[in-house]
Chains A and B, each alone.
Chain A
Amino acid sequence: MAVVMFASSLISMSPSTVTSIDDPTFNHDECSNEYDSRLLLARFVGFSNAQAHEMAGNAYQYCIDNVDLRAGGYWNYN
């Protein structure tokens, strides 16, 4: 009985259980959306293709850095 209780307590403390609840998904999909949205709006308000691409590319890179920072922070503390 004690063995069973010990085993079940181990299962409930398993890191995989914690991770499946709290582990956020870190991917760069939101950054692609950021790029497309900025490119469209920059073109719409009248910037040239080159300026719009640069503005959107900058925002994309900031987004990537931000996602990577969040991911790095999460994995350092979990």
Chain B
Amino acid sequence: MKKIITCLIIALLFCCKNTYAQHIIVDYNIETNSLFNEEKDFEGIAKEKSKEIIEGFNRSLKLLNSMKAHLIASKSESYFWFENTMPSDINIMDYDMAKIMIGYGDSYYSNQLSGNYTHFFSAYGIKFKIKTPVDSLIWKLSKETKIIGDLKCFKATTSYKVKNNLREHTVEVIAWYDPSLQYNFGPKGFSGLPGLIIELKDDKITYSVDTIKFKESKMKTIKKPNGKLITKEELEEYGEKAQQNFNINRN
């Protein structure tokens, strides 16, 4: 009986917090869920060299386990960013590669009213921002559930494509969201689900909620970074030019 009463009180407190909270602050842990395992022969690269590079990529991937990410969200907007909590007494190149892999320094602003999310990032020495419609991600909602901590989460899946000069890579994304938390946001601009994303598997990296703080005060206006607004196609044009400049300068 005591147990039932305690559970009811906790549930009631949680509901009250959730109902009266104006915004939330979510801390996500980052975990590497798989490594690169490429056994392919590449023309012009010695097998030992490609093995050495892939091993370096994997060392950097593993380092991401010690990084954190944060989301601040109201019912209508959210902002997501990374925090560098990697140890500094490590191989400097692995450390820098890890930062590039995760997109350390990048941030994401989502707004339900505009229906867009904006990715702020640096590339080729320039600060950029790219706006993407939230509904460009087609979520498949599933009835499959999983208990994460005390939260009953539902599964949703989607995918997106990363196109580079060599190939097009399809990235599968699995999200676990809690419909009882009506903040329809999550890591890296992934949003549009009927609840807060508690866990997100994005290719080789998994973001999982560590803590959620419910705040009764109104969310402060988010100070977004500056950046030149461009499209993905324009970014590729910048890339071509940067590559050409690099090739001229190194010869």
Contacts and interface: CB of A to CB of B under 8 A. Distances in A.
Interface of A: 28, 31-32, 35-38, 40-55, 57-60, 62
Given A40-B45, A45-B36, A57 B164 contact: no
B203 interface: yes
B40 A44 contact: yes
B53 A49 contact: no
A44 B42 contact: yes
Interface centre among B97, B163, B171 (most CB of A within 10 A): B97
25 contacts: A28-B250, A35-B246, A35-B250, A37-B44, A37-B53, A40-B45, A41-B45, A41-B50, A41-B53, A41-B54, A43-B166, A44-B38, A44-B167, A45-B38, A45-B54, A46-B171, A46-B203, A48-B162, A51-B101, A52-B164, A53-B243, A58-B93, A58-B100, A59-B97, A60-B250
Closest 7 A/B residue pairs (Cβ): A46-B169, A43-B166, A50-B123, A43-B164, A49-B239, A49-B164, A37-B45
Contacts of A37: 42, 44-45, 49-50, 53
B250 A32 contact: yes
Contacts of B38: 41, 44-45
Contacts of A57: 246
Interface centre among B44, B165, B166, B203 (most CB of A within 10 A): B166
B235 interface: yes
A37 to B, nearest CB: 5
Nearest to A51: B100
Contacts of B203: 46
A55 B100 contact: yes
Contacts of A54: 100, 123
Nearest to B128: A50
Interface centre among A31, A47, A48, A59 (most CB of B within 10 A): A48
A58 B246 CA distance: 12
A51 B246 CA distance: 15
Nearest to B250: A32
B9 interface: no
Given A45-B54, A47-B101, 20 more contacts: A35-B246, A37-B45, A40-B166, A41-B45, A41-B57, A45-B38, A46-B162, A46-B164, A46-B203, A49-B236, A50-B123, A50-B124, A50-B239, A51-B103, A53-B124, A53-B243, A55-B97, A58-B97, A60-B250, A62-B93
Given A49-B165, A58-B93, A41 B42 contact: yes
Contact of B57 (A45, A50, A62): A45
Interface in B19-66: 36, 38, 40, 42, 44-45, 49-50, 53-54, 57
Interface string B222-251: 000000000000011001001100100010
B83 interface: no
Interface string B89-129: 00011001100110100000000000000000001100000
Nearest to A37: B45
A36 B239 CA distance: 15
Contacts of A50: 123-124, 235, 239
